[in-house]
A = this chain, B = another copy of it.
């Protein structure tokens, strides 16, 4: 058996004929536009049901909206980002908008490719999560299509933002560890060289928050940072370096849970016990931080919540493209688990 020949799509013309009205009328009913009588709406709706009509987005896109919003996530392997997507999808579930996601792969070139592809496909709006692209690129994108940027700090007149207070989050961790009695608290950061990004990227802000919090606790002499990447391997390599230092840190604050996973690995290979010999804290409170055998102390960012808020902001922006931009900032909380305890001795 061959695949069945494509049945020709039902169009607005078919619906109009069936309902004995004009195509204009159908179009108006579809968009809940002004100027349709109740009985006309009823007849058109009936015809739509009878024929199983569904609007063809490409055709709509040529004149008006596509009812599609694009989401770019940096890395779907990091379990924190799916939470955000989930929040976005939930918020838009009951609307006519369909959410479509593409991975940005943590690179400027890849991100540019994705944002252009989305613009070319007529997205009505875009949500860019923790993009690494330059601010000017982001503003150019936002100039073409309503855009919400998630995770980057710093306000722009071109796009709305939703972010988490990474400065406060880092302080939460440092304070928690210091309260337990730790002094030699080290940090593993995601290396940020581009000076223009250093003020905006969450990873850089966390490192800064760590420094400030250490100083605030009078621990400036103990500040100790290793720069790798926000990956499991980055955590592994970073921890290896830290463990050879002498005196050895009694606690490691990893900039992301995924980094903490690598740290745990290195610590275990070094024959050390967590938390008896060394305390570990992560960031993001991802699902695997909560897993029994891991039970990682981590900073919770409420990813879902970030997602729903970003979606709402985008809908508002699509509705009014010239209103002033908004900046929503959430406060993180600390979830303490079994990887942190008072220092040995």
A residues contacting B by CB (< 8 A) are: 1-4, 6-7, 54-62, 66, 68, 70, 76-77, 79, 82-83, 85-86, 89, 98-103, 105, 114, 116-117, 120-122, 142-144, 157-158, 232, 261, 264-265, 268-269, 287-288, 291-294, 321-322
Number of copies: 2
Bound form: Cα–Cα A1–B102 in Å: 30
Interface residue from B76, B82, B98, B121 paired with A57 (Cβ < 8 Å) = B121
The reply to whether B102 and A99 form a contact with Cβ atoms under 8 Å apart is yes
Known interface pairs A79-B77, A85-B76, A322-B3. Does A264 touch B288 (Cβ–Cβ under 8 Å)?
no
For A261, list chain B residues within 8 Å (CB): 288, 291-292
For A157, list chain B residues within 8 Å (CB): 1-3
Chain B minimum-CB-distance residue to A142:
B3
The reply to whether A121 and B143 form a contact with Cβ atoms under 8 Å apart is no
Shortest distance between the CB of A76 and any CB in chain B (Å): 4
Shortest distance between the CB of A75 and any CB in chain B (Å): 9
Bound form: Cα–Cα A6–B143 in Å: 6
Shortest distance between the CB of A65 and any CB in chain B (Å): 10
Bound form: Cα–Cα A68–B59 in Å: 16
The reply to whether A291 and B292 form a contact with Cβ atoms under 8 Å apart is no
Interface residue from B62, B116, B265 paired with A54 (Cβ < 8 Å) = B116
Interface residue from B62, B100, B293 paired with A100 (Cβ < 8 Å) = B100
For A101, list chain B residues within 8 Å (CB): 100-102
The reply to whether A55 and B120 form a contact with Cβ atoms under 8 Å apart is yes
For A322, list chain B residues within 8 Å (CB): 2-3
Known interface pairs A55-B120, A103-B89. Does A77 touch B82 (Cβ–Cβ under 8 Å)?
yes
